[in-house]
Amino acid sequence: MGYDVIVIGGGPSGLMAAIGAGEEGAKVLLLEKGTKLGRKLAISGGGRCNVTNRLPVEEIVRHIPGNGRFLYSAFSVFNNEDIIRFFERLGVPLKEEDHGRMFPKSDSAQSVVDALVRELGRLGVDVRLESPVADVLYEQGKAVGVTLKSGETITARAVVVAVGGKSVPQTGSTGDGYPWAEKAGHTVTELFPTEVPIVSHEPFIKERTLQGLSLRDVALSVLKPNGKPIITHRMDMLFTHFGISGPAALRCSQFVVKALKKAADGAVEMSIDALPDATQEELFQHFAKLCKEEPKKAMKTIAKTVLPERYAVFLLERAGIDPHASAGTVGHEALRAFVRQCKQFTFSVHGTLPLEKAFVTGGGVSVKEIEPKTMASKCMAGLYFCGEILDIHGYTGGYNITAALVTGRLAGVNAARYALTEKSRISGPTGQTTED
Ligand SMILES: Cc1cc2nc3c(=O)[nH]c(=O)nc-3n(C[C@H](O)[C@H](O)[C@H](O)COP(=O)(O)OP(=O)(O)OC[C@H]3O[C@@H](n4cnc5c(N)ncnc54)[C@H](O)[C@@H]3O)c2cc1C
């Protein structure tokens, strides 16, 4: 038997798995198809790598809408605080930013990748780059190794599949692992784009009226057909030439994908509350007072006291008010119509950019068939899964990398323990293995 553990994929989950297995004293091989390790990790968080998040575990789980609860067991073994300590030990101290997001103090994602690669070296993990795996080999209900695209076969007592999802395939994540999981008897749930910009065919989008405009700290909602919100996210957002993007839109995107599946007419309504801290009545009183005090001022000058000018003009026009009209000439009914637009500007969306353009892949290997404390397959002995290949997806903000690192750690450590137990089980009394 060649190796104790083979880890396929050099992303955050695979790097962590290989380190975990190495720490357990296993003979480990990490196989990566690309020319470099951690390519997606190196571009994550805008090149600064949002390694994890410092919110309490319950909050982390809440921010992983795709099966976050499955991670409770894993977090009881290794959690976000452990990740922070782990990187500190590797000489990469982290710092906290808004919303609990943790970044390396160096502001360099590459420093995170380099530290993980150094640790692989220190632990004596064999690494082979440009070695795409074509298949995982199973025999008599056990994973026994892999075949490379080159035709070479490498044997191992345990195999960790850490090949990621299908998003941003130029980083190497091309969905290679799903057929290997299915061959072992696993269910792969439907794949869909998450954390992805949203597409709208509304005339104001097509005409690029608001293109490039970002709105700060707005409440963006995806609406049910009855107008009630399915979900609301309060963050920044951006209008683009095809629709909307930015953190609030990315977080809403998976709910758009799901709602569109049920929508008969291919459209889902979204709404923006541009001033979520004020009620409609408070806003009406605010504008009515300003209009009374400054009757000669242009309406857009009044409106831009609380909104970005382009958005103020856009909403005034939608409320049927000439932005250049003197404030004193605008009646209360028109003013109330404008306030309604400020609080609930509703528009239709029709899709998202494709999975390849999404930050994260939704769906994957069903977590029902994975042991939550070890990441072991319930279908095949010696087979482990970790990272984005699993049906787990979180919001941007460090939640996906956290899930990848935590599941990777568990998969690696437990694959090594399994492999070493198997080895000693088959060893003769002299310690000589009888199967090699
Ligand atoms: C632009 C961008 C920014 C992001 N920013 C953040 C962020 O700030 N915070 C956050 O939490 N998440 C972020 N994410 C998501 C996060 O990067 C991923 O969820 C995470 O990298 C998944 O880790 P993984 O190890 O499962 O897979 P990946 O990182 O996708 O790694 C999989 C690896 O497996 C290799 N591989 C694939 N097939 C084979 C094969 N057949 N043989 C051998 N090797 C193979 C690939 O080459 C790749 O190196 C971002 C994603 C993108 C695209």
Task: Indicate the top mutation candidate among 32, 44, 150, 245 to test ligand 1's pocket, ranked by most ligand atoms within 8 A of CB.
Answer: 44
Question: Beta-carbon neighbour count of residue 54 at 10 Å?
Answer: 19
Question: Beta-carbon neighbour count of residue 115 at 10 Å?
Answer: 18
94 lines ligand 1 (CB under 6 A): no
Strands (E), 38-195: 52-53, 94-96, 101-104, 126-128, 133-139, 142-148, 153-161, 192-194
Those residues of the chain that have pLDDT short of 50 are 431, 433-436
Which of helix, strand or coil describes residue 185?
A: coil
Rounded to whole angstroms, the Cα distance separating 431 from 399 reads: 44
Nearest to 31, CA basis, from 138, 142, 153: 153
Are 4 and 416 in contact by the 8 Å Cβ rule? The answer is yes
Tens of pLDDT, residues 291-348: 999 999 999 999 999 999 999 999 999 999 999 999 999 999 999 999 999 999 999 9
Domains of the chain, with CATH numbers? 3-191+356-425 (3.50.50.60), 197-352 (no CATH)
User: Which protein residue has the closest C-alpha to ligand 1 atom 10?
Assistant: 398
14 lines ligand 1 (CB under 6 A): yes
Centre of ligand 1 from the C-alpha of residue 94, in Å:
20
138 lines ligand 1 (CB under 6 A): no
Rounded to whole angstroms, the Cα distance separating 120 from 127 reads: 8
45 lines ligand 1 (CB under 6 A): yes
Centre of ligand 1 from the C-alpha of residue 26, in Å:
25
Record the tokens describing residue 98, joined without a space: 């808004």
pTM of the entire predicted model: 0.94
